[in-house]
Amino acid sequence: MSTTKPVLELDGLRVAFRGDAGWVDVVRGISFTLDPGQSLAVVGESGSGKTVSALSLMDLVPRPSGRAVWNALRLDGEDLPSPGDPRWEGLRGSRIAMVFQDPMTSLNPVMSVGAQIVEVLARHRRMNGTEALERATELMAQVGIPEGGHRLRAFPHEFSGGQRQRIMIAMALAGEPDVLIADEPTTALDVTVQAQIVDLVRSLQEARGLSLLWITHDLALVAGFADRVAVMYAGRIVEEAPTGDLFKSPAHPYTALLLRSAPRIHGGDERLVAIEGQPPDPASLPGGCPFAPRCPLVEERCREREPELEAVRPGHHSACWRSAQVSSWTPAS
């Protein structure tokens, strides 16, 4: 067992939004730790609570329509302020930074990219104009923007989608954070550029010793670089394990179906498996396990009680009454 002190510790995160009928829980008590230099991928279908969880770690859940609470959130062993505390202004972007999903809407369209990077450096690194411009030029080079120094005066619309995402990464790194959150940063990009962005983040993580939280709906994308994977469904983590173990022996039917629904280069004649049905509405979750209406292994107890996340083997946790049978189960084509 590792004795490394976690960089990030989250215990019991809950997020709710105000609806017509009152408050609706969209994240229902998730917990995880992130070690120094470690990569944790959080995966699941749209609506599972991945992005909202990430926004909560930056205190970016909109108020008063939303609220986030946790039992504990620690960075390097230090308790972080409660949501809404003014001290988050100094933490966000410096100690925890985030690369958002759509750079075209995240970058300010009426400010040059250089001005936006310099703004981060001035606020969090206390650099003056000349120092900030020099550092911004270095960051542009580090993320692979050709002639980065000359292009600091350019505006976001003058760059390609992949280049805009690289600029977002440069902005996130400008504050020299301990933890980098990447929220589906490759979703709007073609597969070639996706691979380039993944390789860039991996190389920067290794060079800087960053701890990385990668949010995605694509399990195949994280297979080559994530140390651990947490699978979310209906606002909860339903499985969490080392990446190799999870891909080899999933312990939750939802994870097994996600793996079989993704195309493989060397898949042969194996047919892809579709997950029947739709994720549940957070405002009207079914009784028992939320995955029960879609689960091929459902039993009566699945509809009566929701299982807790428990260890099925060292380092591997699953929230399923039939975890022991899942690894030997083959989803039907």
pTM of the model: 0.92
Q: What is the pLDDT of residue 305?
A: 96
Give the 3-state secondary structure of residue 51: helix
81, part of any domain: no
In a domain, 321, yes or no: yes
Of the residues 176, 195, 219, the one at which a domain ends: 176
Work out the angle at residue 80's Cα, subtended by the Cα atoms of residues 61 and 282, and round it to the nearest 5 degrees: 30
Sign for the pseudo-dihedral over CA of 126, 130, 132, 135 = negative
Q: Would you say residue 26 lies in a domain?
A: no
Would you state the structure tokens that stand for residue 196, as one six-digit string? 């380039």
Q: 192 lies in a domain?
A: no
Task: Name the residue with tokens 């990219």.
Answer: 113
Q: Is 325 in contact with 283 (CB distance < 8 Å)?
A: no
- Whether residue 300 is contained in a domain is answered as yes
pLDDT at 268: 56
Neighbour-count burial of 206, counting CB atoms closer than 10 A to its CB (0-12 exposed, 13-18 middle, 19+ buried): exposed
Q: Count of domains in the chain?
A: 2
Counts of helices then strands in the chain (DSSP H, E)? 12, 13
Owning domain of residue 286: 253-326
DSSP string, 4-15: PPPSEEEEEEEE
246 belongs to a structural domain: no
Q: Is residue 297 part of a domain?
A: yes
pLDDT of residue 263: 66
Looking at residue 35, what is its pLDDT?
A: 96
Specify the pLDDT at position 264: 62
Per the DSSP assignment, residues forming a β-bridge with 182 are 99, 214
Residue type, 174: A
Low-confidence ranges of the chain (pLDDT < 70): 1-3, 188, 263-270, 332-333
What DSSP designation does 272 have?
P
What pLDDT sits at residue 269?
58
Q: Which of 136, 160, 176 is the last residue of a domain?
A: 176
Do the domain assignments include residue 222?
Answer: no
Spell out the alpha helix ranges (H) of the chain.
50-56, 88-91, 103-106, 113-124, 129-142, 161-174, 191-208, 219-222, 243-248, 253-261, 300-304, 323-326
pLDDT score at 218: 83
Final residue before a domain boundary, out of 158, 176, 194 = 176
Residue 180 is which amino acid?
Answer: L
pLDDT value for 19? 87
- Residues in CB range of 246: below 8 A, 6 or more apart: 229, 231, 239, 255, 316
